[in-house]
């Protein structure tokens, strides 16, 4: 699916109750990480009041639950790629949060603390720590 939309590299794997898909497109790296059902790790969105809680998968086994999660991730990525392909958004707009920055973190991981601080204090800072004036 990813190479059909221009990805030039792709990796997929799992470790410690998390699964990941990483790919390269347009000379940039992107990474999606998924907490698998039954893992001790909480999803990255735990504690985010705007993030809906994951509903039960209805699966009968851990393997089925994992397949369900992988399927949902594939649907998400496909929908993003279709939105880009149809011209609704640009690739960078749709995948920005998952873009891997130098140092290994994603844009979301770097920006989320600054966004939380801005809402809590009413003071806007640059998302990467610089003064936002």
Q: Name the token pair of 91.
A: 């690739």
Tokens matching residue 55: 């509903």
pLDDT average, residue stretch 34-52: 59
pTM for the full predicted model: 0.75
- Cβ neighbours for 92, distance < 8 A, ≥ 6 positions apart: 99
**pLDDT more than 70, % of the chain:** 77
- Rounded Cα distance, 25 and 5, in Å: 9
Least confident among 32-36, 38-42, 69-73, 97-101: 38-42
- For the cut 50, the answer to whether the pLDDT of residue 47 exceeds it is no
Contact of 17 with 11, CB cutoff 8 Å? no
At 75 the pLDDT is: 94
């Amino acid at each position: 699916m990813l190479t059909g939309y221009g990805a030039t590299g792709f990796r997929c794997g799992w470790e410690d109750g998390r699964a990941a898909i990483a790919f390269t497109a347009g000379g940039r790296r992107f990474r999606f990480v998924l907490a698998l059902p039954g893992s001790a790790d909480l999803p990255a969105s735990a504690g985010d009041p705007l993030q809906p809680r994951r509903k039960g998968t209805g699966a009968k086994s851990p393997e089925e639950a994992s397949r369900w999660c992988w399927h949902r991730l594939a649907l998400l990525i496909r929908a993003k790629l279709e939105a880009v392909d149809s011209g609704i958004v640009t690739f960078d707009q749709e995948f920005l949060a998952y873009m891997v920055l130098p140092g290994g973190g994603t844009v979301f991981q770097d920006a989320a603390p600054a966004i939380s601080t801005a809402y809590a204090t009413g003071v806007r800072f640059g998302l990467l720590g610089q003064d936002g004036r």
